[in-house]
Amino acid sequence: MLVIRSWRTVMKMGWKNLIKTKKGRALIIIGPLIIILVIVFVGLEVTSSPKFCSTCHNMKPYYESWKTSSHNEVNCIKCHAEPGIIPYLKTKANGLVEVAIYISGNLPTRYDTEVSDKTCLRGGCHTQAKLKQEKVDFKKGIPFEHETHLQTLRGEFRLRCTSCHSQIVQTEHMSVAESTCFTCHFRGQEPNEKTAECILCHGALGEIPEAEAKFNHQAILQMGVDCLSCHKGVVEGEGEVQRERCLLCHSESSRLERFKESPLLHLKHVSEHKVECFQCHDQIKHGVEGWPLSFP
């Protein structure tokens, strides 16, 4: 309304008469600034909507997976920008660069984005205190605690929220892929030892999934019978890292020489940046359909 009234004043007085008055000069300066601010505000709001993101055809698969996700009431910008005005504006500036790249036709073959833990753990979303109290079922019969996974693991690195909640599973937005769990739990461990211990996930009851008959393992476990006495071949692969994969991202000899420095690699690729496990590691498979028993 202020802009409209100012414009009417300009029309009545005329530009020449308006410039002669102090109020008129202020009006000429402030009026365009208000118009620019309104345009910028509206532009920021419009370009923050998920629907706007989907106008670029290369973003449509991500938009479609977002619509069916548990975050489909949350705008893209709320997750993809850290809390605060400076990170927000920085994210918007990066978005303009991406629009320019899209228009130029120089589209990347894959899309990488990082969602900060500060974003996930902000007030009103998934606060760390709330996650520590929550006990969730990752899958039926497999309990999960966030508190353990928010700590530094195996003396090497700290997981990020997106280390587990990622885009690995096609058509799913921020889902947890079992294969990610297997890499951490089985890599470099003896079967049924430490992080690869069966009852960490399967518990004392150990009901066989999707089987006609359910077997209670409690008595067997009390006798100290090793799970591997009956269940064999349920872990396949060692999650090795092929040195050649480093060349997909790095060419500097100084970096390649540090290939075996596992703590440093996990710090840089997992804790500080979101690099999918399987860009480096071979996948580890766990479980066989029907959970067959193998007796000597």
Query: What is the per-residue pLDDT for 212?
Result: 44
Query: What is the per-residue pLDDT for 282?
Result: 93
* Residue ranges per structural domain of the chain: 1-47, 127-189+231-286
Which amino acid belongs to residue 149? H
Burial grade of 14 (CB within 10 A; 0-12, 13-18, 19 or more): exposed
The two most distant CA atoms of the chain are separated, in Å, by 103
Ranges of residues in the chain whose predicted pLDDT is under 70: 1-28, 39-44, 46, 108-112, 140-141, 152, 154-156, 167-171, 204-216, 288-296
Query: What is the per-residue pLDDT for 43?
Result: 63
Query: What is the per-residue pLDDT for 240?
Result: 92
Q: 3-state class of 286 per DSSP?
A: strand
Contact, 179 vs 278, CB < 8 A?
A: yes
